[in-house]
Protein backbone atom coordinates (compact mmCIF):
# COMPACT_ATOMS: atom_id res chain seq x y z
CA UNK A 1 0.00 0.00 0.00
CA UNK A 2 1.52 3.31 -1.03
CA UNK A 3 1.02 5.92 1.64
CA UNK A 4 1.09 8.82 -0.79
CA UNK A 5 -2.18 7.60 -2.29
CA UNK A 6 -3.98 7.61 1.02
CA UNK A 7 -2.48 9.94 3.57
CA UNK A 8 -2.75 13.67 3.82
CA UNK A 9 0.74 14.97 3.09
CA UNK A 10 1.40 18.13 5.07
CA UNK A 11 4.21 20.43 4.04
CA UNK A 12 5.84 22.98 6.34
CA UNK A 13 5.97 26.00 4.07
CA UNK A 14 5.98 29.70 4.71
CA UNK A 15 7.38 31.56 7.72
CA UNK A 16 7.32 29.79 11.11
CA UNK A 17 4.49 30.52 13.52
CA UNK A 18 7.03 30.99 16.33
CA UNK A 19 10.49 29.93 17.49
CA UNK A 20 11.35 27.83 20.53
CA UNK A 21 14.84 29.14 21.10
CA UNK A 22 16.52 28.63 17.75
CA UNK A 23 13.97 26.02 16.62
CA UNK A 24 11.40 27.24 14.06
CA UNK A 25 7.91 25.81 14.62
CA UNK A 26 5.89 25.94 11.43
CA UNK A 27 2.37 25.91 12.87
CA UNK A 28 0.32 26.33 16.01
CA UNK A 29 -1.11 22.84 16.58
CA UNK A 30 1.06 20.41 18.50
CA UNK A 31 0.78 16.76 19.51
CA UNK A 32 0.84 16.58 23.32
CA UNK A 33 2.99 14.00 25.13
CA UNK A 34 0.98 10.86 25.94
CA UNK A 35 2.49 7.80 27.54
CA UNK A 36 1.43 4.60 25.84
CA UNK A 37 0.38 6.31 22.62
CA UNK A 38 3.18 8.49 21.25
CA UNK A 39 5.36 5.86 19.67
CA UNK A 40 7.24 6.51 16.45
CA UNK A 41 4.41 5.45 14.07
CA UNK A 42 1.86 7.71 15.77
CA UNK A 43 4.24 10.66 15.90
CA UNK A 44 5.03 10.28 12.21
CA UNK A 45 1.36 10.01 11.31
CA UNK A 46 0.49 13.18 13.21
CA UNK A 47 3.33 15.05 11.53
CA UNK A 48 2.03 13.95 8.12
CA UNK A 49 -1.35 15.44 8.92
CA UNK A 50 0.04 18.76 10.08
CA UNK A 51 1.15 18.62 13.72
CA UNK A 52 3.92 21.22 13.74
CA UNK A 53 5.72 19.69 16.72
CA UNK A 54 5.36 16.21 18.20
CA UNK A 55 6.36 14.89 21.61
CA UNK A 56 7.42 11.47 22.76
CA UNK A 57 5.61 9.90 25.68
CA UNK A 58 7.12 10.22 29.14
CA UNK A 59 10.60 8.69 29.37
CA UNK A 60 12.09 7.73 32.72
CA UNK A 61 15.38 9.41 33.57
CA UNK A 62 16.30 6.65 36.07
CA UNK A 63 15.58 3.99 33.44
CA UNK A 64 17.93 5.70 30.97
CA UNK A 65 20.71 6.15 33.53
CA UNK A 66 20.44 2.93 35.51
CA UNK A 67 18.77 0.49 33.11
CA UNK A 68 20.47 -2.08 30.88
CA UNK A 69 21.58 -1.19 27.39
CA UNK A 70 22.35 2.13 25.78
CA UNK A 71 19.03 3.79 26.64
CA UNK A 72 17.98 1.67 29.59
CA UNK A 73 14.79 -0.38 29.48
CA UNK A 74 13.59 -1.87 26.18
CA UNK A 75 10.47 0.30 26.02
CA UNK A 76 12.56 3.42 26.60
CA UNK A 77 14.96 2.44 23.85
CA UNK A 78 11.98 1.79 21.58
CA UNK A 79 10.62 5.28 22.21
CA UNK A 80 14.00 6.71 21.27
CA UNK A 81 14.08 5.06 17.86
CA UNK A 82 13.60 8.28 15.95
CA UNK A 83 12.79 8.90 12.30
CA UNK A 84 13.56 11.93 10.08
CA UNK A 85 9.82 12.27 9.36
CA UNK A 86 9.23 13.27 13.00
CA UNK A 87 11.31 16.45 12.88
CA UNK A 88 10.80 18.65 14.84
CA UNK A 89 10.49 16.36 17.85
CA UNK A 90 10.48 17.05 21.59
CA UNK A 91 11.76 14.25 23.82
CA UNK A 92 10.16 14.38 27.25
CA UNK A 93 11.89 13.16 30.41
CA UNK A 94 10.55 12.73 33.92
CA UNK A 95 12.45 12.19 37.13
CA UNK A 96 12.67 13.17 40.78
CA UNK A 97 16.44 13.48 41.23
CA UNK A 98 18.15 16.50 39.74
CA UNK A 99 21.44 14.75 38.96
CA UNK A 100 19.71 11.80 37.30
CA UNK A 101 17.56 14.06 35.10
CA UNK A 102 20.65 15.95 33.95
CA UNK A 103 22.62 12.77 33.27
CA UNK A 104 19.74 11.23 31.32
CA UNK A 105 19.43 14.39 29.24
CA UNK A 106 23.17 14.43 28.58
CA UNK A 107 23.09 10.80 27.38
CA UNK A 108 20.24 11.23 24.91
CA UNK A 109 21.28 14.64 23.58
CA UNK A 110 23.05 13.17 20.52
CA UNK A 111 19.64 12.10 19.20
CA UNK A 112 18.01 14.28 16.55
CA UNK A 113 15.59 16.16 18.78
CA UNK A 114 14.52 19.75 18.60
CA UNK A 115 13.71 20.14 22.30
CA UNK A 116 14.55 18.35 25.54
CA UNK A 117 11.34 18.63 27.55
CA UNK A 118 10.84 18.06 31.28
CA UNK A 119 7.56 16.68 32.55
CA UNK A 120 6.16 18.64 35.48
CA UNK A 121 2.55 17.64 34.91
CA UNK A 122 1.98 13.90 35.17
CA UNK A 123 -0.31 13.28 38.15
CA UNK A 124 -0.05 9.47 38.19
CA UNK A 125 1.05 8.22 41.62
CA UNK A 126 3.66 5.92 40.07
CA UNK A 127 5.39 9.08 38.82
CA UNK A 128 4.71 11.59 41.60
CA UNK A 129 5.66 9.31 44.51
CA UNK A 130 9.31 9.60 43.45
CA UNK A 131 9.08 13.40 43.40
CA UNK A 132 8.70 13.54 39.63
CA UNK A 133 5.99 14.87 37.33
CA UNK A 134 3.48 17.17 38.98
CA UNK A 135 5.20 16.71 42.37
CA UNK A 136 7.80 19.19 41.10
CA UNK A 137 5.10 21.88 41.06
CA UNK A 138 5.41 21.97 44.85
CA UNK A 139 8.98 23.30 44.70
CA UNK A 140 9.62 26.15 42.22
CA UNK A 141 13.16 26.63 43.50
CA UNK A 142 14.02 23.03 42.72
CA UNK A 143 12.54 23.44 39.25
CA UNK A 144 14.80 26.43 38.73
CA UNK A 145 17.85 24.40 39.72
CA UNK A 146 16.96 21.59 37.32
CA UNK A 147 16.57 23.95 34.38
CA UNK A 148 19.71 25.86 35.26
CA UNK A 149 21.75 22.65 35.25
CA UNK A 150 20.19 21.43 32.00
CA UNK A 151 20.80 24.76 30.29
CA UNK A 152 24.42 24.71 31.45
CA UNK A 153 25.29 21.26 30.05
CA UNK A 154 23.09 20.95 26.95
CA UNK A 155 23.27 22.59 23.55
CA UNK A 156 19.72 21.38 22.84
CA UNK A 157 17.02 23.90 23.86
CA UNK A 158 15.13 22.96 27.02
CA UNK A 159 11.39 23.23 27.64
CA UNK A 160 8.83 21.95 30.12
CA UNK A 161 5.16 21.08 30.49
CA UNK A 162 3.41 22.02 33.71
CA UNK A 163 0.03 21.96 35.41
CA UNK A 164 -1.44 24.78 37.46
CA UNK A 165 -0.05 23.30 40.66
CA UNK A 166 -0.46 20.36 42.97
CA UNK A 167 -3.95 21.25 44.27
CA UNK A 168 -6.30 24.20 44.70
CA UNK A 169 -4.27 25.44 47.69
CA UNK A 170 -0.99 25.24 45.78
CA UNK A 171 -1.45 26.87 42.37
CA UNK A 172 2.21 27.59 41.70
CA UNK A 173 2.07 27.88 37.93
CA UNK A 174 3.39 31.42 37.71
CA UNK A 175 6.29 30.81 40.09
CA UNK A 176 7.22 27.58 38.31
CA UNK A 177 6.96 29.08 34.83
CA UNK A 178 9.16 32.01 35.83
CA UNK A 179 11.67 29.67 37.48
CA UNK A 180 11.89 27.68 34.26
CA UNK A 181 12.31 30.66 31.96
CA UNK A 182 14.71 32.50 34.27
CA UNK A 183 16.93 29.42 34.09
CA UNK A 184 16.93 28.84 30.38
CA UNK A 185 13.64 27.28 29.28
CA UNK A 186 12.76 28.36 25.74
CA UNK A 187 9.13 27.20 25.82
CA UNK A 188 6.49 26.47 28.46
CA UNK A 189 3.42 24.28 27.91
CA UNK A 190 0.59 24.57 30.42
CA UNK A 191 -2.24 22.14 31.14
CA UNK A 192 -5.02 24.16 32.74
CA UNK A 193 -5.73 21.87 35.72
CA UNK A 194 -4.01 20.96 38.97
CA UNK A 195 -2.63 17.51 39.64
CA UNK A 196 -5.46 16.93 42.12
CA UNK A 197 -8.01 17.54 39.36
CA UNK A 198 -6.37 15.11 36.93
CA UNK A 199 -8.87 15.42 34.02
CA UNK A 200 -11.97 16.35 36.03
CA UNK A 201 -13.70 19.70 35.79
CA UNK A 202 -12.81 22.26 33.16
CA UNK A 203 -9.39 23.51 32.20
CA UNK A 204 -8.70 27.04 33.44
CA UNK A 205 -7.79 28.88 30.28
CA UNK A 206 -7.56 32.19 32.16
CA UNK A 207 -4.69 30.79 34.22
CA UNK A 208 -2.92 29.69 31.05
CA UNK A 209 -3.33 33.26 29.74
CA UNK A 210 -1.63 34.52 32.91
CA UNK A 211 1.41 32.39 32.14
CA UNK A 212 1.54 33.77 28.62
CA UNK A 213 1.59 37.30 30.02
CA UNK A 214 4.18 36.43 32.68
CA UNK A 215 6.99 35.01 30.55
CA UNK A 216 8.83 36.13 27.44
CA UNK A 217 9.02 32.78 25.66
CA UNK A 218 6.40 30.92 23.61
CA UNK A 219 3.62 29.28 25.63
CA UNK A 220 1.52 26.32 24.55
CA UNK A 221 -2.03 25.90 25.88
CA UNK A 222 -3.35 22.47 26.84
CA UNK A 223 -6.66 21.19 28.18
CA UNK A 224 -10.18 20.67 26.80
CA UNK A 225 -9.20 20.69 23.14
CA UNK A 226 -11.64 18.09 21.86
CA UNK A 227 -12.59 19.30 18.39
CA UNK A 228 -11.10 21.48 15.67
CA UNK A 229 -13.09 24.52 16.77
CA UNK A 230 -11.59 24.27 20.27
CA UNK A 231 -8.14 24.98 18.86
CA UNK A 232 -9.09 28.49 17.76
CA UNK A 233 -11.04 29.01 20.98
CA UNK A 234 -8.12 28.16 23.27
CA UNK A 235 -5.69 30.24 21.24
CA UNK A 236 -8.04 33.22 21.29
CA UNK A 237 -8.79 32.85 25.00
CA UNK A 238 -5.18 32.50 26.13
CA UNK A 239 -3.18 34.42 23.54
CA UNK A 240 -0.80 31.48 23.43
CA UNK A 241 1.56 30.70 20.59
CA UNK A 242 0.26 27.17 20.08
CA UNK A 243 -2.31 24.65 21.22
CA UNK A 244 -1.64 21.08 22.30
CA UNK A 245 -3.91 18.24 21.21
CA UNK A 246 -3.72 15.09 23.29
CA UNK A 247 -6.56 12.61 23.75
CA UNK A 248 -8.52 14.16 20.88
CA UNK A 249 -5.76 13.06 18.48
CA UNK A 250 -6.06 9.36 19.32
CA UNK A 251 -7.52 7.65 16.28
CA UNK A 252 -7.95 11.12 14.83
CA UNK A 253 -4.89 12.54 13.06
CA UNK A 254 -7.32 14.51 10.89
CA UNK A 255 -7.65 17.07 13.70
CA UNK A 256 -4.20 18.37 12.70
CA UNK A 257 -5.53 18.92 9.18
CA UNK A 258 -8.56 20.85 10.45
CA UNK A 259 -11.12 18.04 10.23
CA UNK A 260 -13.17 16.36 12.95
CA UNK A 261 -13.25 12.57 12.76
CA UNK A 262 -17.03 12.31 12.94
CA UNK A 263 -17.33 14.33 9.71
CA UNK A 264 -15.25 11.78 7.79
CA UNK A 265 -17.06 8.68 6.48
CA UNK A 266 -15.56 5.34 7.45
CA UNK A 267 -14.65 4.54 3.85
CA UNK A 268 -12.46 7.66 3.77
CA UNK A 269 -10.92 6.90 7.16
CA UNK A 270 -10.04 3.33 6.28
CA UNK A 271 -6.88 3.94 4.20
CA UNK A 272 -5.38 5.88 7.10
CA UNK A 273 -6.34 3.14 9.56
CA UNK A 274 -4.72 0.49 7.37
CA UNK A 275 -1.60 2.59 6.90
CA UNK A 276 -1.29 3.18 10.65
CA UNK A 277 -1.67 -0.55 11.27
CA UNK A 278 1.04 -1.32 8.70
CA UNK A 279 3.38 1.16 10.39
CA UNK A 280 2.71 -0.42 13.79
CA UNK A 281 3.41 -3.92 12.47
CA UNK A 282 6.62 -2.82 10.83
CA UNK A 283 7.85 -1.00 13.94
CA UNK A 284 6.67 -3.30 16.75
CA UNK A 285 6.34 -6.67 15.03
CA UNK A 286 3.15 -8.69 14.53
CA UNK A 287 2.16 -9.49 18.11
CA UNK A 288 3.01 -6.20 19.79
CA UNK A 289 1.94 -4.22 16.74
CA UNK A 290 -1.60 -5.62 16.80
CA UNK A 291 -2.02 -5.32 20.55
CA UNK A 292 -0.69 -1.77 20.77
CA UNK A 293 -2.78 -0.71 17.79
CA UNK A 294 -6.04 -1.73 19.50
CA UNK A 295 -6.33 1.41 21.62
CA UNK A 296 -5.94 3.54 18.48
CA UNK A 297 -8.37 1.30 16.58
CA UNK A 298 -11.13 1.70 19.18
CA UNK A 299 -10.92 5.44 18.63
CA UNK A 300 -10.79 5.18 14.84
CA UNK A 301 -14.02 3.14 14.96
CA UNK A 302 -16.00 5.72 16.92
CA UNK A 303 -18.95 7.11 14.94
CA UNK A 304 -18.04 4.78 12.07
CA UNK A 305 -21.52 3.32 11.69
CA UNK A 306 -20.13 -0.21 12.15
CA UNK A 307 -22.34 -2.22 14.55
CA UNK A 308 -20.97 -2.88 18.01
CA UNK A 309 -20.61 -6.64 17.55
CA UNK A 310 -18.51 -6.12 14.43
CA UNK A 311 -16.39 -3.49 16.17
CA UNK A 312 -15.68 -5.91 19.01
CA UNK A 313 -14.68 -8.59 16.53
CA UNK A 314 -12.31 -6.18 14.82
CA UNK A 315 -10.69 -4.81 17.97
CA UNK A 316 -10.21 -8.25 19.54
CA UNK A 317 -8.67 -9.87 16.47
CA UNK A 318 -5.15 -11.10 17.39
CA UNK A 319 -3.86 -11.96 13.92
CA UNK A 320 -2.45 -9.16 11.73
CA UNK A 321 -3.48 -10.71 8.41
CA UNK A 322 -7.00 -11.44 9.64
CA UNK A 323 -7.27 -7.95 11.11
CA UNK A 324 -6.26 -6.37 7.79
CA UNK A 325 -8.84 -8.55 6.04
CA UNK A 326 -11.59 -7.60 8.48
CA UNK A 327 -10.80 -3.92 8.08
CA UNK A 328 -10.81 -4.25 4.31
CA UNK A 329 -14.28 -5.83 4.47
CA UNK A 330 -15.60 -3.39 7.07
CA UNK A 331 -17.17 -0.76 4.75
CA UNK A 332 -19.84 -3.34 3.87
CA UNK A 333 -20.87 -3.46 7.54
CA UNK A 334 -21.59 0.24 7.96
CA UNK A 335 -25.15 0.93 9.01
CA UNK A 336 -26.29 4.37 7.89
CA UNK A 337 -27.44 6.54 10.74
CA UNK A 338 -26.55 4.06 13.46
CA UNK A 339 -26.14 5.73 16.85
CA UNK A 340 -22.75 4.42 17.96
CA UNK A 341 -21.91 5.19 21.56
CA UNK A 342 -18.37 6.53 22.02
CA UNK A 343 -15.99 4.34 23.99
CA UNK A 344 -14.06 5.83 26.89
CA UNK A 345 -10.39 6.42 26.18
CA UNK A 346 -8.10 6.14 29.16
CA UNK A 347 -4.76 7.83 28.60
CA UNK A 348 -1.91 6.93 30.92
CA UNK A 349 0.40 9.87 31.31
CA UNK A 350 -0.92 12.74 29.19
CA UNK A 351 -0.25 15.99 30.97
Instruction: Tell me the catalytic residues.
Output: 122
Q: Please spell the DSSP secondary structure of 36-63, one letter per residue.
A: TT--HHHHHHHHHHT-SEEEEEEEEHHH
Q: Rounded distance, CA 213 to CA 217, Å?
A: 10
293: nearest Cα among 254, 255, 320, 331? 320
- From the list 186, 7, 174, 169, the residue with the least C-alpha distance to 88 is 186
Give the distance from CA 115 to its chain's centroid: 14
| Residue (of 127, 205, 126, 124) closest to 164 by Cα position | 205
- SS3 of residue 147 by DSSP: helix
Nearest to 242 by CA among 187, 165, 167: 187
Return the closest-CA partner of residue 165 out of 210, 130, 126.
210
Contacts of 2 (CB under 8 A, 6+ apart): none
- The answer to whether residues 303 and 277 touch, using CB atoms and an 8 Å cutoff, is no
Rounded distance between C-alpha atoms, residue 106 and residue 72, angstroms: 14
Amino acid sequence: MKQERHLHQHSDTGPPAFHAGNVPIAGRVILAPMSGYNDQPFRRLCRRFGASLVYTGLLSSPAIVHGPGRWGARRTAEMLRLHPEEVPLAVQLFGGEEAVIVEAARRIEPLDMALLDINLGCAKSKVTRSGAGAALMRDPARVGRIFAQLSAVLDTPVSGKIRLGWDSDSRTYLEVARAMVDNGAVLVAVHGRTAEQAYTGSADWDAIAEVKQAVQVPVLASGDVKRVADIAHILDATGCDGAMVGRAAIGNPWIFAGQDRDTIPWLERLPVVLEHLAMMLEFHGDYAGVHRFRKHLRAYLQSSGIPRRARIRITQCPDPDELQALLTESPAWVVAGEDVEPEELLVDGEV
